[in-house]
A and B are shown apart, each in its own frame.
Chain A
Amino acid sequence: MSHPSDLDPLIHAPKRLAIMAILRGTNLVEFQYLKSELDVSDSDLSKQMTALTTAGMVSARKRREGQSRSTWYRMTAKGRLAFDRHVQSLEALIELSKQLDDPDPDPGAETVDAKAAEAAEADLSR
């Protein structure tokens, strides 16, 4: 069972969360694709990707395509595990907040039901 405290601080940052979510739905993603999807600068995306690759959550491979070089990313097994755990923690947090908002669905219902049952019993015994 996941706990809200299992939220991964590395993944939690909005840009990295979006990157990880895109990578989770794909096998391979190219740098330019991520850049256009996230609408960020080269340096910003590069910084985020370095953080994720250094943590071992994403693997990078450079390929020569004609005159230019492109970088392709893939989510590692460690990254997949961390991301899925993060999502489960978010779900646990939502569940927890629902419980805090509504600790007892209808506390008066049981009392009313018990009184009704007692009255019915009394009617029968008459």
Chain B
Amino acid sequence: MESDPERSAVGRSPQSELDEIRRSSERPHLEYPPIPIWVWPVLAVASGTYTWSFSVPYPIPGLPMMVAGIGLTWWVVTYMVRTTGVLPSFSSMPRPLKRQAIFTWAQVLVLVPIVYVVSQLIGAIGGAVFASAAFTAISYVHQRRHEQITARLRAANAGPTE
């Protein structure tokens, strides 16, 4: 670039600053490790415990089961945030990752009533096994897709900027 206004006070061009901002703000999303596979069966058990708590006498054992279900979900989420040191914001997610996250959560939402019906038909233990298998399958597909998208975005970010 020839013109002086193109250079900022510290010798970087505004365009390179904007590129740096884009790279930095996308980094937590691209470097955030995919959800570990064990999380899904644990979440399945947690949601199963919570759902089951409505079918048993209240307050004992209904209330402790409800608290355990919520507590286990909270623990898994906070454990993942603590170990990675970052909690990416959904609103700032790169668009392909956002679409993928919405798609996965839509699958989870569809699965929840199916798990409930299945557990009514084949019993609580069978329902929990079915839920774990289904959540793990969703997790596997999500993980593979997440890796493909982040690899593509990383390659795009690594391209020449100036």
Interface residues of A (CB under 8 A from B): 4, 7, 12-14, 17-18, 21-22, 24-30, 32-33, 37, 65, 87, 90-91, 93-94, 96-97, 100-101
Contact = CB atoms under 8 A, between A and B. Distances in A.
A103 B94 CA distance: 35
A29 B32 CA distance: 12
Given A27-B88, A29-B87, 12 more contacts: A7-B8, A14-B20, A17-B20, A21-B25, A26-B89, A26-B92, A33-B86, A37-B27, A65-B82, A93-B5, A94-B6, A94-B18
Interface residues of B, number: 34
A28 B81 contact: yes
A29 B15 contact: no
A28 B3 contact: no
Nearest to A74: B87
B2 A101 contact: yes
Contacts of A101: 1-3, 6
Contact of A25 (B1, B18, B92): B92
B24 A33 contact: no
A-B CB proximity, top 9 nearest: A33-B85, A21-B24, A30-B85, A25-B25, A25-B92, A28-B87, A97-B6, A90-B14, A93-B14
A30 B82 CA distance: 8
Contacts of A96: 5
Contacts of A7: 8
Contacts of A25: 24-29, 88-89, 92-93
Contact of A94 (B15, B85, B86, B93): B15
B84 interface: yes
B29 to A, nearest CB: 6
